[in-house]
Chain A
Amino acid sequence: MRAFVSMLSGILFGFGLALSGMMDPSRVRGFLDIFGDWDPTMAFVMGGAVIVMAIAWRMQKAMNKPVVCDQFSLPGTKLIDARLIGGAALFGIGWGLAGLCPGPAVASLANNLSGAAIFVAAMIAGMVIFRLTERPAQ
C-alpha cells in the first residue's frame, strides 16, 4: 500500500509537471528572466501547488499518523545557516543555466531523453561528489 501511494504520488506529480509547462526549460528560464521577456507561468504553478499543500498541512496537523504508514517522518530542522543558503544559491545557479530542476529533469527522461539524460547524469554526479566530500556530522 505504501508502494502504491508512492507510485500514485509520483505519477500525478509527473503528469502535473508535464501539463504545467514546467518540463520546458525555456519556459522555466523565462520565469527567471525578469529583466527580459518574463513568463509568469511558473508563478501559477507554484501558487496552485502551494495552496493545495497548505490545506494538506492543515489536515496533517489533525492526524495522529499517516493513512498507510505508522508515523509521520518530517524534517524538523529549523537551522538557517550558510550550508542551507549556499546550497540553495548553488542550486539556483544550476537551475538558471539549464532551465531544469530535479523534478522536471527526471520526468523529461520520458520526453527529451538525450538532453534529460545528460542533465540527470551530471546531477547524479554532483550528488555523488557531495556524498564523497560530506563531513560526517550532518
Chain B
Amino acid sequence: MLPGFPDAQPVNGLIGGVLIGLAAAIMLLGNGRIAGVSGMLARTLGLTRGTPWPIAALFVAGLILGAVLHLLTLGPIEADFAPGWGWLVAGGLITGIGTRLGSGCTSGHGVCGMSRLSPRSIVATLTFIAAGMVTVAVVNAVGGGW
C-alpha cells in the first residue's frame, strides 16, 4: 500500500486517526474537556480531582466498548504483545509514573495538545517519542529485543 513499507497500514491508520480525532473533538466541544486517557484513568481511580467522575469513568469504559464494537463488527484486532510479563510490568510501571509526572500521554499531549499548538504539549510529545525511539534502539542493540 505504501511504497517501501509493505507492512504499513496507512489507510486504516488515517481513518482510525480521524475517528480518534472526532472522539477527542466530541469530548472538547461537548463536555469542554481534554480526552486524555492517562488523566481520565487517574480520575476514574480517584487519584486526581477536577473532572466529574462519570465523565472520566464512562470515557474509560467507552474505550473498552469501542474495541468490543470493532470485534463484533469488523472482526479480530491484530496484536502482537511483548513476549513475557517483564516487558509489560516494567513498561506499565514507568508509563504510570511518567504520564502522571508529565501530565499526559499520547492522547492528551500528542493529539489534543499538539493540535492546540500548546508549546508544553509539543515539547512533551517530542520528548516521549524521542525517548521511545532511543529505548527501542537500545533494547534492540542489547539483544533483548522482541
Contacts and interface: CB of A to CB of B under 8 A. Distances in A.
A91 B97 CA distance: 7
A82 to B, nearest CB: 10
Interface string A85-110: 11111111111111111110111111
Interface residues of B, number: 111
Interface of A: 2-3, 5-27, 29-30, 32-57, 59-60, 63, 65-69, 71-75, 77-80, 83-103, 105-112, 115-116, 118-131, 134
A126 to B, nearest CB: 2
Q: What is the interface of chain A mostly: helix, strand, loop, or mixed?
A: helix
B143 interface: no
A89 B137 CA distance: 15
A55 B102 CA distance: 26
Contacts of B96: 94, 122-130
Contact of B111 (A33, A53, A83, A92): A53
Nearest to B10: A44
A24 B70 CA distance: 14
A13 to B, nearest CB: 4
B64 A106 contact: yes
Contacts of B95: 90-91, 94-95, 98, 100-102, 105, 119, 122-123, 126
Interface in B83-106: 85, 87-103, 105-106
A50 B21 contact: yes
B58 A6 contact: yes
A17 B8 contact: no
A111 B30 contact: no
**Chain A to chain B: the 6 pairs with minimum beta-carbon distance, closest first:** A10-B62, A14-B66, A126-B96, A87-B102, A20-B16, A92-B131
B119 A78 contact: yes
A9 B27 CA distance: 6
A92 B129 contact: yes
Contact of B24 (A49, A66, A105, A127): A49
Nearest to B96: A126
B41 to A, nearest CB: 6
A110 B115 CA distance: 29
A21 B139 CA distance: 22
A22 B78 CA distance: 9
B93 A123 contact: yes
Nearest to A33: B136
B120 A9 contact: no
11 contacts: A5-B30, A32-B133, A41-B8, A44-B17, A48-B17, A50-B111, A56-B21, A85-B102, A92-B130, A94-B96, A111-B71
Nearest to B46: A131
